[in-house]
Structure 1
Amino acid sequence: MSLSVALQVAQSALTTRQRETAILSKNITSATEEGYSRKTALISSLRSEDGQSGGVYVSAIDRATDSALFSNLISSTSAGMTSEIFLDGVTRLSQTIGDPQESRSPSATLGRFANALQQYSAEPQNTVLAGAVLTGAQDLVNTLNTATSAVQTERERADALIADSVNSINSLLSNLEDVNKEVIRGTQAGTDITDALDERDQIVLQLSEFMGIRTETRANNDLVVTTDSGVMLFETTPRSVNFEATNSYVAGTTGNALIVDGVRVSGPGANMELKEGKIVGLMQIRDEVTVTYQNQLDEIARGLITAFSESDQVGTNPDRTGLFTYSGSPTVPASGTLVTGLAGSISIAASVDPDQGGDINRLRDGGISEPFDSDYVYNTGGEAGYVTRLQDLITNVDTPMTFDPATQVDTSNSLTAFASSSASWLEGERKQATTINEQHTVVVTRTAESLSNITGVNIDDEMQSMLEIERSYAATAKLITTINQMLDQLLQIAG
């Protein structure tokens, strides 16, 4: 090998080691950066026209990756966000209104009201105990009214978060378009695209938090993204993702659907429904669990109105609402039929409330619904110790009645048992959601750790590689020094 060729080899080695050092340095400085994958210089030999070795060079920069693990991380992230968001919504409902151990729950409030009624039946002439019954009834009404408001507020919150999620999705898709173009251009030009690929992966991972997605890489590293139900989300350009928020919810309000590329993918009328992601969890809260719980509240309210309704004691006129009334009074709601929003409108009859000019003794005597019609009075003799009506009311509360199947709990139960079942249903939803979320959290964590072990930067390994490059650099520098000395000697001889 001639000295000039040897010098060329040494110079290429120095340039290559310098490039390798830069890559290692970047690995070390970016080790804690989220989404960064380890980069490695691929070394190739330079060959002369006659096939002789002429040195080395960095032919490409490779990044550590595992497409199968990354795909698993995408799907597990979507599933994890579904369970996390659903658990959050159910927990908020449970903590706000559903815990049977808390005084604010409908079940607990109904229990206190029933106890007050039982005590009053023992001393029907005691107006203090009658007042306690009235207070308990008002507390129960307030609880149902407040619970309805809380349920609809949770629906509004979920709807607003869906709208925020759609804004984030559209922003991510716009960023994905820019980065994907950079990847395609770099691939075609043969330049380093590893950082752009890292950035694109992070965008895809963030998208997977909001909805389940599937990815496919085409020629020139072009990325295509679809929803997990098969609707095109990104192909060269982003597809439109639309959602119209509903600012105010009342019982019975139907929220809008999420539309991707003109297809309903979540919410009412969805025909290619998303399976996972934050939006799925929010839709489950907005359209399923809160609606079911509202149905249960409404049926508790209907059960109260029915249990405390008054019947004609003389003729055959229809039953009338009694202590508990609503906007449709004096008609008693049909048995076993849901009246949407009833828990939000139920109230105490003014004719029994002294603060509204009523007579509290009507609790004992009847005639609440028709204070000027004696046919609905039970205690026609005006006896202070009259207890029959109160005992009937107690029996009504504990007697099985028919409830609407939309409540998803026992449709044939007593009012007290139904209220307790409602609380148990919500707590059961919370416990099940907690278990599922814990399982998904473990899967996401372990998948992320496995991927990080393959693609992440190990500082010890990088420092070891740096030492090897330093030794190689020193050897190359010594070779150049030797060549230089040999050239000097040749010049001296020639001189």
Structure 2
Amino acid sequence: MSITGALSNALSGLNVTSRSIENSSNNVANALTEGFARRELEVTARSYGGGGQGVRTVGIDRMVNMALVADRRLADAATGDRDTRAAFYQALADATGDTGGGSLLARISAFSASLVTAASRPESQARLQDVLDKAQSLAAGLRAASDAVLEARRAADASIADQIKTLTATLARVQQMNATITEMRVNGRDSSAVEDERQRLVDGISTIVPVREVTRQNGQIALFTAGGAALLDGRVADIAFEPEPGLVAASSVAAGDLGLLKVNGLPLDLAGDGGMMGTGSLSAAFAVRDDLAPAEQARLDALAQDLIGRMAAADASLGAGDAGIFTDDSAAFDPAAPAGLAGRLSVNALADPDRGGALWHLRDGLQRPSEGDSGDPTLLNALAAALDARTAHAANGLSGTFSFSGLAAETVSGAAVALVSAEAEASFASARRDELQALILADGVDTDREMEQLLLLERAYAANAKVVTACDDLLQYLLEM
């Protein structure tokens, strides 16, 4: 080998070694950086005229297992979906389980007990006042539960708008990074740092909508949902949604009261399993707004309707169209407008002294014109018996005969069972996501290995430097001859 050949080999080795040292140092420095992918220098032999002339760097490879990343992103979406559903049922459980004055079932039990107690001494104003207080507490408990459901629907509607805003903004940034990466690669520059940032952005999208990443030319990527809808493929999809700030219990998609998600002008129904968008926090928000919350509202309304009907049927003083102890916003219940009844439930003002009524109406009848025998417990016993009477129900997932407390227990326990199931699914989804993330991190930076590599590179650098020194000495010797 000639001196110039040896010098060329050594200089190329110095260049590759210095870049390798820089790469390993960068790996160590970013070992704890979120979304950083370990880099490896791609090195190949350099040859001229059929002979070896050292080594050269071809590029820098990001060491990422995209199959694991794709599965982790689907797990991110599932986690976001289950967490959203669990949060809804937790809010409902908090409202029915403890709303300041006790659980809904405890309020029902207290109201029933107050009727029995008042019937034992119907002339007692204190016991009649206790019946009124317990009735107002029961109505307040049902209103609180209904308000919690309505607030969950409104929060879900607002969350959908926020998520769409985040999704479209992030997709636009990914599109910009696609262009930047292509430009850097065409100019022979390392685009790894930009690709790391792009991956972090796509990971953020995956909690909202499950995405599949497809590689395109020159380092660009296209993004599709798990259901096949194109979010980004050269251009960003036009995703639009109009929130409904005035959402009420009766609002529904079927009636045209609520906005739908539109992708490139086509409406998509994301309730249920998410359809084209798959499962994610976005589809879960639609499910809460359009399916889960309305179903729970219907159960609460049926419970309120049952209470109104039982109490009205027990009061012989009532005529057609008269309201009983419990009213629909101070009026008789209108069967044509059942939606949101639980949120409008109130105690009849005729029995409330603070609103111009009288307590004796609870004992003698709401529509009785004058006070009757103060010792007559007939109506109080009838009201207590009405609560315990078993009536048939075959709606809202219930089938059978129930007392009022039994119907309430079925309503509350149904939400509790749904909460337990949602939490279990959320826990499983989170565990799966964590396991996949651990597998991804296993391919990340191993600082011990990188430090070992740095020691080997130091020796390689020193060996190449010695060759350069030897070549220099030989050239000096030749020049001095």
Task: Summarize the Cα distance change of 1:272–1:282 in structure 2 as closer, same or farther, 3 Å threshold.
Answer: closer
Could you tell me the TM-score, scaled by structure 1's length?
0.90
CA contact (8 A) 2:42 2:61 kept: yes
Distance 1:313 1:172 in 2: 65
Mapping 1:361-400, distance limit 5 Å:
361-366=360-365, 368=366, 370-372=367-369, 382-400=372-390
Query: Which residue pairs with 1:16 in the alignment?
Result: 16
Q: Does 1:450 align with 2:452?
A: no
CA RMSD, aligned part only? 2.5
Aligned with 1:308: secondary structure?
helix
CA contact (8 A) 2:314 2:386 kept: no
Aligned with 1:201: secondary structure?
helix
Query: Which residue pairs with 1:223 in the alignment?
Result: 221
Q: CA deviation at 1:102?
A: 7.0
Q: CA deviation at 1:274?
A: 2.6
Task: Summarize the Cα distance change of 1:238–1:137 in structure 2 as closer, same or farther, 3 Å threshold.
Answer: same
Distance 2:210 2:265 in 1: 18
Task: Summarize the Cα distance change of 1:109–1:338 in structure 2 as closer, same or farther, 3 Å threshold.
Answer: farther
CA contact (8 A) 1:310 1:320 kept: no
CA contact (8 A) 1:90 1:285 kept: no
**What number of residue pairs does the alignment pair up?**
476
CA contact (8 A) 1:27 1:457 kept: yes
Q: Does 1:480 align with 2:468?
A: yes
Query: Which residue pairs with 1:125 in the alignment?
Result: 123
Mapping 1:72-471, distance limit 5 Å:
72-95=71-94, 97-99=95-97, 103-254=101-252, 255-267=258-270, 272-310=275-313, 318=320, 320-327=322-329, 329-330=331-332, 339-366=338-365, 368=366, 370-372=367-369, 382-403=372-393, 405=395, 407-410=396-399, 412-454=401-443, 456-471=444-459
Task: Summarize the Cα distance change of 1:328–1:100 in structure 2 as closer, same or farther, 3 Å threshold.
Answer: closer
Letter in 2 for 1:162: I
CA contact (8 A) 2:41 2:61 kept: yes
Distance 2:146 2:238 in 1: 35
Letter in 2 for 1:430: L
Aligned with 1:60: secondary structure?
strand
Aligned with 2:46: secondary structure?
strand
Distance 1:356 1:203 in 2: 59
Task: Summarize the Cα distance change of 1:311–1:138 in structure 2 as closer, same or farther, 3 Å threshold.
Answer: closer
Letter in 1 for 2:376: Y
Q: CA deviation at 1:453?
A: 0.8
Once the two structures are superposed, residues 110-134 of structure 1 have per-residue CA deviations (whole angstroms, 9 ceiling, x without a partner) of 1211111111112222221111001
Distance 2:276 2:468 in 1: 67
Letter in 2 for 1:221: G
Distance 1:313 1:298 in 2: 24
Letter in 2 for 1:468: L
Could you tell me the TM-score, scaled by structure 2's length?
0.92
Distance 1:463 1:401 in 2: 76
CA contact (8 A) 2:16 2:55 kept: yes
Query: Which residue pairs with 1:489 in the alignment?
Result: 477
Task: Summarize the Cα distance change of 1:392–1:228 in structure 2 as closer, same or farther, 3 Å threshold.
Answer: same
Q: Which runs of 5+ in 2 are unaligned?
A: 253-257
Mapping 1:23-62, distance limit 5 Å:
23-49=23-49, 51-62=50-61
Aligned with 1:309: secondary structure?
helix
Once the two structures are superposed, residues 204-262 of structure 1 have per-residue CA deviations (whole angstroms, 9 ceiling, x without a partner) of 11111111222222333332212222222111111111111121332112332222222
CA contact (8 A) 1:76 1:443 kept: yes
Pick which of 269-278 and 285-294 moved more. Answer: 269-278
Aligned with 1:33: secondary structure?
coil
CA contact (8 A) 1:91 1:430 kept: yes
Letter in 2 for 1:15: N
Q: CA deviation at 1:321?
A: 2.5
Distance 2:294 2:354 in 1: 35
CA contact (8 A) 1:228 1:275 kept: yes
Q: CA deviation at 1:359?
A: 2.2
Pick which of 147-156 and 417-426 moved more. Answer: 147-156
CA contact (8 A) 1:21 1:469 kept: yes
Pick which of 243-252 and 2-11 moved more. Answer: 243-252
Q: Percent identity?
A: 26
Once the two structures are superposed, residues 27-51 of structure 1 have per-residue CA deviations (whole angstroms, 9 ceiling, x without a partner) of 11111111111111111111121x1
Distance 1:100 1:256 in 2: 33
Q: CA deviation at 1:400?
A: 2.3
Letter in 2 for 1:31: A
Q: Which runs of 5+ in 1 are unaligned?
A: none
Letter in 1 for 2:19: R
Distance 1:277 1:269 in 2: 11
Aligned with 1:233: secondary structure?
strand
Distance 2:16 2:311 in 1: 90
Task: Summarize the Cα distance change of 1:415–1:348 in structure 2 as closer, same or farther, 3 Å threshold.
Answer: same
